[in-house]
Chains A and B, each alone.
Chain A
Amino acid sequence: MRIYFAVFACGLRRYSGYRAATAAGVFTNSVFGAISALVLLAVFAARPHINGYDAADAVTHVYVAQALIAPVAIMGPQLDLAERVRTGDVAIDLLRPAHLAPWWLAHDLGRAAFGVVFRSVPTFALGAALFPLVLPGDPVRWAAAAASLVLAVLIGFGLRYLYALAGFWLLDARGVTAVAVMVAGFASGQLLPLVLFPDPLAALLRALPWAGLIQVPVEVFLDKDTLPGGHIAGGLAFQAAWAAALLALGALLTARAARRVVVQGG
Chain B
Amino acid sequence: MADPLRAYALLAWTWCRALAQYPLSLALLTAAQAVAVAAELAAVMFVFTRAGELAGFGAREALLVYGLAALAFSLADLLLGSVERLGEHIRLGSFDTMLVRPVSPLVQLATDQFSPRRLGKAVPALGAVVVALAGLDVDWTVQRALLLPVLVVSGTVVCCAVWVIGACVQFFVLDAREVANSVTYGGQALTEYPLAVYGRKVVYAATFAVPLAFVSWQPALYLLDRPDPFGLPAWLRFASPAVAAVLCLAAAAVWRTGLRRYRSTGS
Contacts and interface: CB of A to CB of B under 8 A. Distances in A.
Given A20-B174, A21-B175, A43-B54, A32 B49 contact: no
Contacts of B199: 38
A160 B202 CA distance: 37
Interface in A28-55: 28, 31-32, 35-36, 38-39, 42-43, 46-47, 50
B43 interface: yes
Interface string A1-42: 000000000000000001111001101100110011011001
Nearest to A30: B182
Interface string B152-183: 00000000000000000000011111110110
A83 interface: no
A179 interface: yes
B27 A192 contact: no
A147 interface: no
B36 interface: yes
A249 interface: no
A170 interface: yes
Nearest to A194: B46
A185 interface: yes
B189 A35 contact: yes
Contacts of A24: 173, 175-179
B254 interface: no
B207 to A, nearest CB: 16
Given A179-B28, A183-B35, A21 B176 contact: yes
Interface string B69-112: 00000000000000000000000000000000000000000000
Majority-rule SS of A interface residues: helix
Contacts of B173: 20, 24
B52 A46 contact: yes
Interface residues of B, number: 42
B18 interface: no
Nearest to B117: A178
A25 B178 contact: yes
B40 interface: yes
21 contacts: A18-B175, A24-B178, A24-B179, A28-B178, A28-B179, A31-B186, A32-B182, A35-B186, A42-B54, A42-B55, A46-B53, A46-B54, A47-B50, A175-B27, A179-B32, A182-B32, A186-B42, A192-B46, A196-B46, A196-B50, A198-B49
Interface of A: 18-21, 24-25, 27-28, 31-32, 35-36, 38-39, 42-43, 46-47, 50, 170, 172, 174-176, 178-179, 181-183, 185-186, 191-192, 196-198
